[in-house]
Structure 1
Amino acid sequence: MRPFAYLRATDARSAVTASRERPNAMYLGGGTNLVDLMRLGVALPETLVDVTRISSGTVEEGPDGALLIGAGVRNGDLAADPLVRRRHPMLAQAVLAGASGQIRNMATVGGNLLQRTRCSYFQDVSKPCNKRLPGTGCPAREGDHRNLAVLGHSGDCVATHPSDMAVALAALGAIVHVEGRGGPRTVPMPGLHRLPGTEPERDTVLEPDDLITLVEVPALPFATRSRYRKVRDRASFAFAVVSVAAALDVADGVVRDCRIALGGVAHAPWRAESAEAALRGSAATEASFAEAVDAELAQARPLPENGFKVPLARNVLIRTLVDLAEAS
C-alpha cells in the first residue's frame, strides 16, 4: 500500500473543502471497500479524509413519515432498526443479504452506495479495464463475464453494481442528500448510479468532492409488504447473481401499485419501470406477473456465458411477486 496523508473532518463543509484542496483525496467511512482497493493498487488516494465523526449515525422518522438515514449509519444497525424492519422489510433483508456480520458492523450506508464493482478485470491492475483506465478496453466481454451485466451495458463495460442495499433503495425511490462545492443538494434513486455508456469510470453522477450526508426513504405504506430475494453461487457471503427487491399493493385481486428493482444484472441497480407500468391495474395473477416481467426483460442483451441470468431473473421475480400477492 502506498503512503497517504490522513485528515479527520469536523463537519461536512470542512470535509468538502479538504477534498477540494488536496489532489486525489478520497473520503473514508467504514473503509470495507476502499481499503481493499488500496491494497490491490486500484485506488491510489494521496489523502484520506475521515468522515466517520461527521455523518449522522441515526435512523429517524421525518415529519412527513419519511425515514431519514444518516450516511454514517452502520449497515448492521440499519438492518436491526425497528422502523426499517417494520416499514421497509426489503431494505433490512437486503442489508442482511449483503455481507458478513463483521463487515456489516463496519460498513456505512454512504459507503455502501458508492462501492465499486467486483469485476475481476477491474480489480486486477495487470489487466486492461476501461473502468480503471479509460480507453484500455473491456476484456470481460470476451473473457470471464458469467456474473456480469445483461441489461444496460455498453461496448466499454459490462460490470455490475455490487450493492444489495442500493437495489432496495432504488425500488423505494430513495433520495440521497449530498454536500458539494455548491452546497447541499439531493439526488434521486434511480438516478444516483450511471449506466456505463462511454464513461464506465463514472459509477455515479456525483462530482469528486461530493459527500453523501443522508439517505431519505419516502413514506410508502404498502412497502410493509415487501421482500428482497437474492440468488448467489453459494449460501454463505457472496455477491448476487440475480436479486429482486419488490413491494406490491393488491386490493380485490388487482395490483394498485408496485415497486420493483433488480440487482446483479446491470452497472446500476435496475428499476423495473416497464414491469411496474404493466402491472398497475392488472390482475394479481402469475400470468399477469409473467407478462410484465417479460416486458421488462425484453431489453436484456446477454453475453455468451451469462444468458442464464435472464430466465433466472424472470423466475425469481415472478416467484417473489406471487409470494407477495398471496400474503396480501
Structure 2
Amino acid sequence: MISYVVRRLLAAIPVIVLASIPVFLVIHMAEGDPVLMLLGVEAPTETIEAMRERLGLNLPLWRQYLRWAAGVVTGDFGRSVMSDFTVRELLVSRIPATLSLAVVAMMMAIAISFPLGIFTALQRGRWFDRFVSIVTSVAISIPHFWLGILLVLLFAVNLNWLPAGGYVSPAESPLRFAQLVFMPALTLSLYMAAILTRFVRTSMAEILTEDYIRTARSKGVPGRLIVTRHALRNALIPVVTALGVHFGRLLSGTIIVEVIFAWPGLGQLMLGAINNRDFPVVQATFLVFIVLVIVSNLVTDILYSVIDPRIRLHGAAK
C-alpha cells in the first residue's frame, strides 16, 4: 500500500510542474504591459522600472520562471502588489475557509446522493425513480450564482432563519459556523449531489442484476445485507471516480459562491486580485487550485486501491 501511494505521489510531480507553466504565464498573457496596468501610463519612468525589477520582469522569460518556481518550492510566492502582506500570508489566511466550505459541501452531496441513489436503484422504473430523475436534471441545470441568490432571498430575507453571509472558524464557534456555511455549502453541493445520485443509481442498478446478487437472494440473505455488504462496495468505484472528477468543479464553484456569501476564501481572494491586477496573488491562487485538484485525484486513486485491492496489485505487476 505504501509503495503504491509513493508511486502515485511521484507521478503527480511532473503534472504539477507542467501545470505551473501556464500559471506562470498568466502575467504575460494579460493584454498590455502588466506594470503599466498596475501603475498607470502616467507613472514616472523610475517608478515603472523599479516595479518591473521588483516583479522580476526585467529578466529573460526562462529566468523569470525558474526564479518564480524556486520561490514556490520554498513557499515564497512573492509579495502582494496591492497590500503590505506576502502572498503566503494571504493564502494561509484564506485556504482554511475554502477547504472547510468544500469539505462540508462534499459531505452534504454524499449525504444526499447515496441514500437517493440506492433507493432509486431499488425502485428502478417506478414513480419515485422517475421523479428523482427529473429533480436531478433540474439541479444539474441550475447555475451556482442563481441558486445562491435564491437561497439568500428565501432563508435570509424572507424567513430570516440564517445570516446572508460571513464566516466564523469552526474552531471558534461550531454552531455559528454551521449557520453560516449551510447556504454556501448547499449551493455548491446541489450539482454534485445530482451527479452522484445518478452515478450511484446506475452503478447499483447494474450490480443488483449480477449473478452473485441473485445467488445471495436465493440463499435467503436479507435485502439490507445484500445492498450494504455485497452490492454497495462493488458499486463504489465509478462513484469514487465521479467524486474525484467533480471535486474540481466544486472548487471552481467556490469562486462565485464565496463572493455571493461574503465567504473570505481563495475564490474571493482571486477575484479581488484579478480586479486589482495583483498578479503575484493571481498566480499563487491559480496554482493552489490546481494543486488541490491534483491532490483530489491522488486521493481518488488511493481510494480505488482501498475499495478494490486488485487495482493496487495490477499497478505493482506493471
Same fold (TM over 0.5): no
* Structure 2 length-normalised TM: 0.22
Structure with greater proportional strand content: 1
Flag the structure with larger Rg: 2
| Higher RCO structure, 1 or 2 (CA under 8 Å, sep 6+) | 2
More helix per residue: 1 or 2? 2
